[in-house]
Amino acid sequence: MAQLLAKIEEGNKATHRRMETVQASLAMVEATVKNMMKEQGEFQKWRPETEVKVSEVAEALKTIQAKLDQFGPSPSMEFLPDGEHMKKGVLISAQLEIPPIDATHGQFRHHFC
């Protein structure tokens, strides 16, 4: 009977050690998840500001393009049949066009088309 109780007690101790290990692991996972959520929140704070600034730059480029269009084409530009300007083989409108944020791709939308 004493041997049986000793075996049960030994099993209980092993079970308690395993439970403590699992609890410590869960505490580490919880701390890691909390830290990741905090960092993600901090990362997302700058995004709206950056998107606004990108939009402002796009608008400024459109304004500059409109002012350049008022002066007419430069000698290094050619007219295409559809009326577009071309400089060194690249459409001027393509050189200055910035895609909208929704048209970008990637997890954080930092790659422009």
Number of folded domains in the chain? 1
Q: Per-residue DSSP letters for 27-72?
A: HHHHHHHHHHHHHHHHHHHHHHHHHHHHHHHHHHHHHHHHHHHHH-
* Encoded tokens for 94: 């393509």
Mean pLDDT of 62-79: 76
* Cβ neighbours for 61, distance < 8 A, ≥ 6 positions apart: 96, 98
Does residue 14 belong to any structural domain of this protein? yes
Does residue 95 belong to any structural domain of this protein? yes
- pTM for the model stands at 0.38
CA-wise closest residue to 71 among 99, 92, 56: 92
Does residue 47 belong to any structural domain of this protein? yes
Mean pLDDT of 12-28: 94
Q: In terms of residue numbers, what domain contains 48?
A: 2-103
Does residue 109 belong to any structural domain of this protein? no
Name the band, by pLDDT with cuts 50, 70 and 90, for residue 71: confident
Residue 96: is its pLDDT beyond 80?
A: no
pLDDT of residue 77: 59
**36-48 residues labelled b (16+ CB within 10 A) or e (exposed):** eeeeeeeeeeeee
Could you report the per-residue pLDDT of 28-48, keeping only the tens digit for each? 999 999 999 998 888 888 888
pLDDT of residue 62: 94
Phi, psi of 78, deg, nearest 5: -120, 150
